[in-house]
Amino acid sequence: MNPKMQTNEKSDLLEVKDLVKYFPVRGGLLQRVVAQVQAVDKVSFTVKNGETLGLVGESGCGKTTVGRSILRLIEPTSGQVNFNGEDITHMRPNSLKSLRRDMQIIFQDPYASLNPRMPIGESVMEGLQIHKIGHPKERWQVAITMLKKVGLEEYHARRYPHEFSGGQRQRIGIARALALQPKFIVCDEPVSALDVSIQSQVLNILKDLQREFGLTYLFIAHNLSVVEHISDRVGVMYLGKMVELASREDLFREPLHPYTKALMSAIPIPHPNVKRDRTILKGDVPSPLNPPKGCRFHTRCPIAKDICSQQEPEFKEARPGHWTACWLVE
């Protein structure tokens, strides 16, 4: 956490309470629901005004589903999302449309997220068209301004997506999200499809824009070093559950949950002589169709006790501002 954040506690911009998303699996002749994929199960967290909350976890742990449920791109099964003190989980389409101006998303795949038949300037100003903001000429000006903010030039605006590289397209996606001047942006693995050399460039643009516009980010990633670079606080997810949530310093200095410890020990250290204890997890992530009873991590946990397989641990504040869900943390 940066010093400014510590001195004056900021208000919550986003509050997620017991968010649940089950995807029904249909089968048989009558397309009956035969099973439920428990993608996200009772996840709660808050995001403060102006901060970046990182969300990490393996593929399939539900972090993307959390991001999309917050934006209501998918409808959550239950739970509540409050944005700016307003419950948005039951919002009607009309109010939802105006909500879109305040919440935006940046996608993982820079190749699929732009319409190939639309000049990028038009893609960027599409949001303004949809919300009928300004005249056509003003919209175009806004689009060019936004493109310049992400390091592109005016003459790029009339070009088509196939004429750009992956990094450039990702920046176009950022410009599109910015055009509506949102307060909050879900960054859904915005750099994981990019070359390492381009990753830092895009991350720095995101940081600069955050400072300039006072943006709040939910930054979804599976790369811990990227998350460490950009986040103020970090949440760790495993199989649809939030297992640990703490400030970046606390989490990287003293990970409490055995899963987080295992993740930390997997970060490569660029020094050949450094020896350390590696926690190597055995087996695969269990299927979210039928998650383990008790603590969902107990099947792979190196220190699991009897209680772990019987009762689900509560997500509690183990240290001040450091939340975790593990029976064995005191």
Cα 291–Cα 244–Cα 247 angle in degrees, nearest 5: 160
CB 299 within 8 A of CB 285: no
C-alpha dihedral, 163 to 172 to 142 to 186, nearest 10°: 160
The residue within the footprint of another protein, chosen from 158, 305, 316, 319 (CB under 8 A), is 158
| CB nearer another protein, residue 107 or residue 297 | 107
The residue within the footprint of another protein, chosen from 141, 148, 151, 160 (CB under 8 A), is 160
The residue within the footprint of another protein, chosen from 97, 293, 305, 316 (CB under 8 A), is 97
DSSP 126: H
The residue within the footprint of another protein, chosen from 22, 45, 83, 107 (CB under 8 A), is 107
CB 89 within 8 A of CB 79: yes
Please list every residue from 169 through 228 that binds another protein, using CB under 8 A: 173, 176, 180
Map tokens 């208000």 to a residue.
Answer: 11
Q: Does 88 bind another protein (CB under 8 A)?
A: no
Residue 57 and residue 71: Cα distance in Å, rounded?
A: 20
Residue 212 and residue 182: Cα distance in Å, rounded?
A: 12
Which span (83-91, 93-101, 253-261, 309-317) binds another protein, by CB under 8 A?
93-101
Q: Does 117 bind another protein (CB under 8 A)?
A: yes
Question: Helix or strand or coil: residue 267?
Answer: coil
Q: How far is the CB of 72 from another protein (least distance, A)?
A: 9
| CB nearer another protein, residue 126 or residue 228 | 126
Phi, psi of 5 (to 5 degrees): -65, -35
Which span (154-162, 204-212, 231-239, 242-250) binds another protein, by CB under 8 A?
154-162
CB 185 within 8 A of CB 153: no
Q: Does 92 bind another protein (CB under 8 A)?
A: no
Binding site for another protein (CB under 8 A): 71, 73, 96-98, 100-101, 103-105, 107, 109, 112-118, 126-127, 130-131, 155, 158-160, 162-163, 173, 176, 180
